[in-house]
Amino acid sequence: MNSFNSLIDKVLKGSKLTYHLVFWLAAYLFWVFIFRNNTLVITHAITIQFCYLVFIAANYYFNSLYAIPQLLNKKKYVVFVLCFLSAIVITAVLRVPVSAFVYRYVFKITNNHFDYLMVFYNSFINILFWVVAILTGKMIADKIRSQRYIEKIESERAFNELNFLRAQFNPHFLFNSINSIYGHIDKSNKIARDMLLMFSEMLRYQLYECNVDQIEVERELNYIKNYIALQKSRMDERVVVNFLATNMNGNIKIAPLLLITFIENAFKYVGFNEYKENRVDITLNYDRGALFFTIFNTKDTFISSPEKSSGLGIANTKRRLELIYPNEHLLAIDNNDEGFGVHLTLLKV
């Protein structure tokens, strides 16, 4: 819940809110000075155009937030047209009593020749025209942004594929080398032999099993457990590692190697302070279609700048989340002097 609230706060404080305010202010000033009736003083024009602004904006947000994504984009054309026209009619009807009130109590026009039908007709035409114009402009802009985004993704994909081909090596040679090293380790050194087997299993998982978009969470968990076991074997008793995975089953699938970056970061920068508890806490929980991942590591406050993480791995993982789970994940990172925490929620897995 805290992650969701922080996400909402970022949206409200971001550039989108400023953009919307500037757009409606510019539209309002445009209507006041361009469509001002010569028979009206400027204060009258300001009042009339503000009334239009409210109803046009209401129609715009109704369509952009609901009607277009939920109806038009899902090819429910008849329902969309009915909802679109109904909203225009409703706002045009609502503007009639608003206009009558303004004329009688704001402009002090007391004659009895207020034409309700003409006001409704003019309101319907004006609101319809400007809502269509603004929505058309928005859809064209979204199309252009979408096309540029697709081109950017294709360019990045080609670049990453080229880098992958350049970095390829012969896996058979690597595994044969591991087997040779394993054979030369004394049989009494069980810890070293087990570590090498775990490393070989992790490497096999990366090379042969991760070339898919989604993988069973149990296989990903096995990789994570092997990694944790390797890290614990090299650490002394000053670091306590807690790992808990609940409600995991074979029906859950996630993108491979998505969580390991956060885990690697935790083990890399966990503190080794002799005067306080040093720990790495990792939890995974599946509940009602969502996967909740939390990791926390303590750290030393005196780490120098060169030793601090460049953040490249986490930045790449954020990018993967944006590409694989657009609008279907919540990520919150808490970095302070005491520790580093990550809270990740995959909403649909």
The 10s digit of each residue's pLDDT in 220-277 is: 999 999 889 888 887 767 789 999 999 887 688 999 989 999 999 998 888 777 777 8
- Residues 21 and 145 occupy one common structural domain: yes
CA 175 to each of CA 178, 194, 196, 197, 203: distance values in angstroms, whole numbers, following the listed order: 5, 15, 11, 11, 9
- Residues 247 and 151 occupy one common structural domain: no
Q: Which of 141, 163, 185 is the last residue of a domain?
A: 163
- Residues 124 and 243 occupy one common structural domain: no
80, 71 Cβ separation under 8 angstroms: yes
**Domain-embedded: residue 75:** yes
| pLDDT for 204 beyond 70 | yes
**Domain-embedded: residue 334:** yes
Question: For the residues 176-202, what does the mean pLDDT come to?
Answer: 80
- Structure token digits, residue 97: 């009593």
Query: What's the pLDDT tens digit per position in 121-142?
Result: 888 988 899 899 989 988 898 8
- Residues 24 and 146 occupy one common structural domain: yes
Selected residue with higher pLDDT from 266 and 180: 266
Confidence of residue 285 (pLDDT cuts 50, 70, 90): very high
What is the tally of structural domains in the chain? 2
80, 72 Cβ separation under 8 angstroms: yes
The pTM of the whole model exceeds 0.85: no
What is the SS3 assignment for 176-188?
HHHHHHHHHCCCC
Among residues 122, 125, 7, 134, the alpha carbon closest in space to that of 58 is found at: 134
**Domain-embedded: residue 3:** no
Q: What is the CATH number of the domain that holds 287?
A: 3.30.565.10
Confidence of residue 182 (pLDDT cuts 50, 70, 90): confident
Backbone angles phi, psi at 273, to 5 degrees: -85, 125
- Residues 129 and 257 occupy one common structural domain: no
**Domain-embedded: residue 147:** yes
91, 128 Cβ separation under 8 angstroms: no
Query: What's the pLDDT tens digit per position in 29-50?
Result: 777 676 655 545 455 555 666 6
Percent of the chain with pLDDT over 70: 79
263, 242 Cβ separation under 8 angstroms: no
| pLDDT for 89 beyond 80 | yes
- Residues 122 and 258 occupy one common structural domain: no
On average, the pLDDT of the chain sits at 80
Confidence of residue 187 (pLDDT cuts 50, 70, 90): confident
CA 37/CA 48 separation, integer angstroms: 10
**Domain-embedded: residue 219:** no
- Residues 33 and 118 occupy one common structural domain: yes
- Residues 48 and 144 occupy one common structural domain: yes
- Structure token digits, residue 146: 């979408």
Query: What's the pLDDT tens digit per position in 102-124?
Result: 777 666 666 667 778 888 888 89
Selected residue with higher pLDDT from 24 and 254: 254
Q: Which of 144, 163, 182 is the last residue of a domain?
A: 163
pLDDT score recorded for residue 151: 86
- Residues 136 and 277 occupy one common structural domain: no
Q: Which of 114, 136, 163 is the last residue of a domain?
A: 163
Strands 253-254, 339-346: pairing kind: unpaired
Question: For the residues 68-92, what does the mean pLDDT come to?
Answer: 90
In terms of DSSP H, where are the helices of the chain?
Answer: 2-13, 15-34, 42-62, 77-101, 116-167, 171-184, 190-204, 217-234, 260-269, 312-324
- Residues 159 and 242 occupy one common structural domain: no
Could you tell me the residue range of the domain that residue 146 belongs to? 14-163
**Domain-embedded: residue 110:** yes
CA 235/CA 241 separation, integer angstroms: 10
- Residues 155 and 265 occupy one common structural domain: no
Q: Which long-range contacts (CB under 8 A, 24 or more apart) does 131-136 make?
A: 131/56, 131/59, 131/60, 131/63, 131/88, 134/27, 134/56, 134/60, 135/60, 135/63, 135/64, 135/68
**Domain-embedded: residue 50:** yes
What DSSP assignment string belongs to 24-86? HHHHHHHHHHHS--TTS-HHHHHHHHHHHHHHHHHHHHHIIIIIIIIIITTT-HHHHHHHHHH
**Domain-embedded: residue 178:** no
